[in-house]
Every structure is written in structure tokens, then in C-alpha cells.
Structure 1
Amino acid sequence: MAETSGTTNRAARIELDERVAHELRDLLPLVAGRTITAITAEVPSYSGTLTGQMRDKIENAVQIALGTFLQLVEQSRTADRPQASDPSTPLVPALEAAYALGSGEARSGRSVDALLAAYRVGARVSWREMAAATVAIGLPAATVAEFAELMFAYIDELSAASVAGHADELASVGRARRRNLERLTQQLLLGEPEEVLQRSAKRADWPVPQTLTVALLPQAKLRGALALLDEHTLESSEEMPAGEPGEETAVLLVPDMHGDRRRQLARVLQGRRAVLGPARPWSRACSSYRRVVRVVALGITRPADGEPLDTDQHLSELLLSADVEALADLRTRVLQPLAELPAATAERLTETLRSWLLHQGRRDDVAADLFVHPQTVRYRMGQLRQLYGERLTDPRSLLDLTVALALPVGIPPASIAPAG
């Protein structure tokens, strides 16, 4: 025999003859109708929704539920007879139906609070009608009390089953949505066609923004950042070449942080060792992602004040690293006049030439930059003019020198990672 519930045990204590059961069963259509009327009047979430065929369907479901309750009482009364059926059996389909109701309400977008409110109203109205009938029939007060206890226990079991169905449906929908969001995130990072992205965004119920900005930060800093960002921010926990050795990193795709709002994003990421990509039209978020990857590969030093490493501030380095071999060849060619000098001398003169180009020949500024006396700068530049001659006044030669020496002298171009 199947395990009986508390409701079944209570049902076994009630003495209800066939005449009384028949009269109560005849009341079910009336009770169901009044129950639905009360629910639509008192529970705002159901106002105007239970009409037409839907109302008929729900009224029928209420009749079946109450009929199952009466069947439970009648069957419990005969359970000690030979070959009687299991008194818990009527509850099984009723609980399954209640579970399905809860699941359906979750899919319809109604909250569990609305569902429980409907059960409370339904229990009150059903008992009011049934109580009036049992008193009119002449049932003893003790039996009426037992009947009330049983009915509310039965409705409690139904509501618990509905809550379970509602919770399971939300969990299932949540898992499916998370999978869809993860798929969308990967498609955005890979640069899938916009029509593919549009379908995935719709499937994930993700509102399409105007722009997306990619940010890279350590996994350990992710939760705190997400709590301060737009709820529709996407995330990916894939491996990235950044952070401390062995440190896991995360990629964020933050909606609509373009223009003045970029400063707001920088404030949120303050102190989180983040790398911030450019804002891009949402379907081209892969461009922002590639920019972040390239800046990380360059090994650019992060700001000491905890500000995010903003890739928009390092466009020159990115541009110069676009063709590593070309930059190396250019540097070798423009530094050819220094090739015969001792290594230490060539390095000092290269460093001086770079500073002279960047400071447009202002001797005092060059001296301050190199931490040397202005006379030292004058002496070194005299050497360079002897080695380079007219090339230090030729516009084309100056352009080549500036581009070739734009990166710090201590970072040879061959050490720069290829563009990603």
C-alpha cells in the first residue's frame, strides 16, 4: 500500500454517509463558480484573466479538486472493507494536477504570491459554502469541525504541490535562460553574423542595447562588479592571458556605457585590476574583445592609482604593434647610423634621439625626461647630427624616426606579441 498523507489519516476519522456525500457533490458546480468569482475579484493578478473558456476550464478544475476531496472522505470510510482500494490513491492525480497548475502559472508570468493568494481565497469561499451545506444537512458539530480540518489540510497539500511546480518551472526556465545567455555571449565574442545574434538574443530574452563594452578582470573581482552594473551585463569565465599566474579571469560585456557613461564604468571597475575595451555597436562586441586581448598581450603597465587599464589610451602602441616585423625592420633601418657604435653608447644616443623627437627639440624638457644636464643633451645631439646629417631636418626621415622610436627604447619590437 502506498504511504498515506496526513490528509488521508484525517479523512479516516470522518463519518459521512452516502446521502450527505451525494448532497455535497451536487453543490460542487455552485461552489466552483463562486470560488472563481471571488478569486477574480480579490486577487489582482487574476482580474480579467479568468473569462470565457479559461474560466470554464478553471471552474472544472476546482470541481475536480473538490470532488477528489469528497472521494477521499468516502474512500477512507470504506478503506477497512475487504478489497477496498488504497485511500491515498485519489490524492495522486489531484496533487499532480496542482503541480501542473503551479508550473503553468509560472510560465504565464504570475508570481507564487498570486498563486497562494488564490488558494487562500479559494479555501475560504469553498469552506463557507461547504460549511453552510453540512450545517443545513444536520451533521454534528464535531463532524463539521473534523470536516473543516480535513478540507484545509487538503488545500494546504494542493497549494504546496502548486508551489513546488511553480518553483521547479522557474528553476528550469532559469537554467535554460542561463544556457541561452552563455551561448549568446560566446557568439558575440566570436563575431557571429548579426542575424544569428538577433535570434540568440530573442531566445535568451535579452534586450538588445545600442553598444557593448568589453571589460576583463580577475574572476575573484567579478561578483562585486556585477552587483554595480546593468542587470543585462553578460559574462564569460573563459581562460584569458591576463592577471597573476594561475589567476582565473572573466570577460564582461556591459550594455550602453558609451560617451560620458564610460567614466561611470571606470569608477565601478576602480581597484579591480580591469582592462577596459572600447564601446562598440552591440553586434560588433568582438571588436572590443579583440582590442582588450591585444592590449593584454602587449604587457602594458596598469595605472598605479587603481584605475582600469583603458585601451583607448594606448592606441599608438596598438597601431605600432599591428605589424611586428615591419616595425622591427623600420627601427633597424633608422638606427643604422648607430650600428658601429658600442652598445652602451648606441643605447644612450637612441634614448636621447627618441626624447628629442617627442619633445620637439626642447633641450630642457629632454634633459628633465632623461635626468641629465642640458649640456649633456647638447653634446649627445651634436653626435647625432654628425651621424644623421640632413636626415634630422628631412620631414620623411623624421616621420620614420618618430614611428620607429615611438615605443620605449627598452622594448625592442621583436618582443611585442603579434596582433590577435
Structure 2
Amino acid sequence: MSHTSSERRRAATEDASRLALSEVVVDRLRARVSEVATHTVNAITVEVPAYRNALAGPMGARITSAVELALGGFLRLAGPARQRGQAAGAPMTPALDGAYELGRGEARSGRTMDALLAAYRVGAREAWREFSRVAVEQGLASDDMARFAELVFAYIDELSAASAAGHADELATTGRVRDRYLTRLALSVLRGDPPDRLLDRAQRAGWEPPRSLAAVVLPTEQASRAMTGLDERTLRADEDLPETLDDEQASSVLLVADADGVRRGAAVAALRGLDAYVGPARPWSDARSSYLRALRARRLGLAAEGGGTCDTDDHLAELVVGADQTALADLRAQVLAPLGDLRPASAERLAETLRAWLLHQGRRDDVAAALHVHPQTVRYRMTQLRELYGARLDDPAQVAALVIALGTTPAHGRPGIPDTSR
């Protein structure tokens, strides 16, 4: 609500309130307040769908009381008791406060501002219909009748603006509170809290648990952009994240609902162009495991072909062999021990050849194409390797160890070459 529109409304009310009804007219109007309030509430019930089943019992009594308070405030504004030196807004203060609280209450009840404004329109019509009848009966002059009409509608305009402010403030407050509940829920999921605690926090936040959640780890500066394309049930956490993130970049975690099956592709596509790591879909109360996998993928430096978003489902082999980096380094050192006496350049060439030979299952032409060398070069290098490894290249257990050690690209160094710089 702008200051300009508020000042305009107040000016209109002030101008119209120069009318001073006689005590007789005000007494007659005051005698009709209860009846007018009842007529107004009944009309709202009939004409505004959102209120048809809402005014029975205590709610109906509260609305009726609010209408009576508003009508009473109007009569204080229009009547002869208004002192010339009195602050302009003083007669309206109780009614405006009541209207503001009414707006907040309607927001809490789930009714929209449109419904509340529709109720005000019906109320203005009913109030004018009943009050103007009394004014005509009391012989109010035409000029005063016109000013009386202006005052009625200016006053209702002020009340509806106060209710709109209360409605908006309540929604904003409720939204902030719910956001805090949702953040606490996200952190509970990431910590792996017990299912009963997770369910309690979900209920507090008004969040309906999905079948599964997939964790997405990404820079905080990209999180808001990512949220726009993801399921509306996505949870977000930006601070106090469990587990140490091994860099200084501010990170966020998104927990995306039901990003599995055919929907996973759409979720990953929504993150295209972002530096995101997407964990697997897991039952929502066990999504911590998805978070830990996304973290592991980031620590290993995994990435999609061409960079960008990394779907950990596409890197399961690297994740398995990278689960224990020290064990993998020891395994590489062990299986490459026969190359230890060679010059580094020669050892590297032979290790690359052995890796290609394993991955291409000994197909010499495919190995040559992968290494960009002549097939005879492959034959020569493999002869060297057989001299160094002997029968180990025919031992299934040794071949399995070689495949695990050399079959994936390590996070540091070239394929298959142990990183001895650390």
C-alpha cells in the first residue's frame, strides 16, 4: 500500500467527515447497528462463496462483532460528538485496528484478500442501504445526503485498506515462519535425524513428504536460479550444513522431490549450466545418503562430459573406486610396481598402454586407435609388459585388480599413474 493512496483515502474521509449528523439521526442509526450488522453478515454469506460455510459458530460471532465495531466507529466519525480540536484519525483508530486484525485472522483462516474485499463491497452496500433509509426518514437534506454517502464509502475504503495490510502482514509473517520450519526440516534430513523427528518437522512446516528426495550440492549464488525449475516441494539449506565442505565457496543443498525414473532427466536438465552435483533419489527420510554421495562426487572432482551439472548416477564406477582414495592409491602403486625401475616417461607410456589393453579387452587395433599409435607399437609395448608382469596378466585376480586400479581416471594425475606429488 503506497503512502500516496493512503493519504488520498484519509483526505477523502476527512473531507466527507465534515458532515455532522444531528444527535437524533445518530441515535436512530445507532439503534439499527445490530440489525445492519446481521443483514451484512447474511448478505456476505449468500454472495461471497468463501464465506458460505465460514460464519457459523464462533467465527460468525467474531465477524458480526467486527462489523458492529466498524459501524460504531463510523457513527463516532459522523456524529456531533466529534471535537473540533480532536486528532483527525482518533475516532477511527479502534475500527482501523479491528479491521487490521480481521485481515490477519482471515489470512490465518486461509481466505484470500479477494474474498475479504468482496465481503467489504457487500458490507458497504448493505450499510449504505440501511443507513440511507434512516437518513431519508429523518429528512436529511440532499447536500448532506450526498456527503453522507461519500463518508460511508470513504470510511469503508479506509477499513478495507487496513484489512488488506493486516492480511499481507500475516502472510509475510507466516511465510517467514514456514521458511524457517522448512530449513530446519532440510537440515534434519541432511543430518540423518530419526524418522519420527523428521515426520514431526514435516508436519510443523506443512510439508507433505514425497516418495523420495535427491540432494543437489551447488554454489549458493546459483541456488535461487536452480529452484525456479525444480519441483515446488524442493527443500533448501544454505547454512550450518552437516559435513565439512572442503573449499571456501559458499554452498547450498537442495533436496528435490521425486527426482527418479523418468522425472530424473527433467530435474537434471533444470540444472543445466550450473556447477551442481546431483545425488541419487532415496526414500525421503534416508536422503542423507544422497547428500553424502553428492559431496563425494564433488570432492573427487567428477563432472559431466563437457563440464556443468554432474549426475552421480552416471559416475558410479568412479565413486566406488574413489570411496577410499588412500586404498586406491595403494592399489595403483601395488599393481604398477613392476614398472618401478623404468624411467618415468617409459613407465607412463606402458601404464597407459596397459590401461587401454584392459579396457578394450586386448583388441590391438582398438588399443592403437585409443592411444593414437600404430598397432605394431601396441604389440611392442605389450611384449614389454608381459616380460615385466609375467603370468600375472593371465591371473583373473590380478587382472581384476589392474582393472580397478587403472580402469578409471583418478582425480589427480593421468590415467593409471599414481600421484606421488602429495
TM-score by shorter chain over 0.5: yes
2:70 aligned to which of 65, 72, 96: 65
- Tell me which amino acid in the other structure corresponds to 1:262: R
- Is 1:76–1:87's contact at 8 Å kept on the other side of the alignment? no
Q: Is the 8 A contact 2:217 2:294 kept in 1?
A: yes
State the alpha-carbon separation in 2 of the partners of residues 404 and 355 from structure 1.
13
1:252-280 Cα shifts (integer Å, max 9, x gaps): 21101111211222222233343222111
Contact 2:217 2:253 (C-alpha < 8 Å) held by counterparts: yes
Q: After alignment, is 325-334 or 130-139 more displaced?
A: 325-334
Match of 1:141 in 2: 142
Quick one: distance in 1 between partners of 2:21 and 2:268?
73
Residues 1:333 and 1:51: Cα distance change in structure 2 (over 3 Å): closer
- Structure 2 match to 1:258: 260
- Is the counterpart of residue 410 in structure 1 residue 414 in structure 2? yes
Pairing 1:281–2:283 present: yes
Superposed displacement of residue 87, structure 1: 6.3
Cross-structure match for 1:378: 379
User: Quick one: structure 1 residues 262 and 175, their matched pair in 2 at CA, closer, same or farther if it must change by over 3 Å?
Assistant: same
Q: Which residue of 2 aligns with 1:271?
A: 273
Percent same amino acid among aligned pairs?
A: 51
How far off its partner does 1:64 sit?
A: 2.5
* Change in CA separation of 1:91 and 1:301 when aligned onto 2, cut-off 3 Å: closer
Select 1:27's aligned residue among 32, 41, 54: 32
Q: Which AA in structure 2 matches 1:350?
A: A
Deviation at 1:85, TM superposition (A): 6.2
Counterpart of 1:48? 53
Task: Provide the residue aligned with 1:351 in structure 2.
Answer: 352
Q: Distance in 2 between matches of 1:8 and 1:337?
A: 96
Query: Which shifted more, 184-193 or 156-165?
Result: 184-193
TM-score calculated relative to the size of structure 1: 0.89
Taking the TM superposition and a 5 Å limit, the aligned residue runs for 1:150-189 are 150-189=151-190
Q: Say if 1:378 and 1:201 are closer, same or farther in 2 by CA, change over 3 A.
A: same
Q: Distance in 2 between matches of 1:362 and 1:273?
A: 37
What SS does the aligned partner of 2:21 have?
A: coil
> Aligned AA for 2:297?
V
**Alpha-carbon separation, structure 2, partners of 1:88 and 1:300:** 66
Unpaired runs of 5+ in structure 2?
1-6
Q: Is contact 1:127–1:148 with CA below 8 Å preserved after alignment?
A: yes
- The whole-number CA distance in structure 1 between the counterparts of 2:202 and 2:420 is 40
SS of 1:331's equivalent in the other structure is: helix
Classify the secondary structure of the residue corresponding to 2:122.
helix
Which ranges in structure 1 are unaligned for 5 or more consecutive residues? none
The residue type paired with residue 113 of structure 1 is: D
- Any idea what SS the aligned residue of 1:187 has? helix
- Please say which of residues 362-371 and 57-66 is displaced more in the overlay: 57-66
Alignment correspondent of 2:98: 97
Residue 56 of structure 1 aligns with an amino acid whose one-letter code is A
TM superposition score normalised by structure 2: 0.89
Deviates more, 1:38-47 or 1:10-19: 10-19
Q: Which residue of 1 aligns with 2:312?
A: 311
* Aligned 8 A contact 1:218 1:250 in 2: yes
CA distance in 1, matches of 2:56, 2:27: 29
Secondary structure (helix, strand or coil) at the match of 1:277 reads: strand
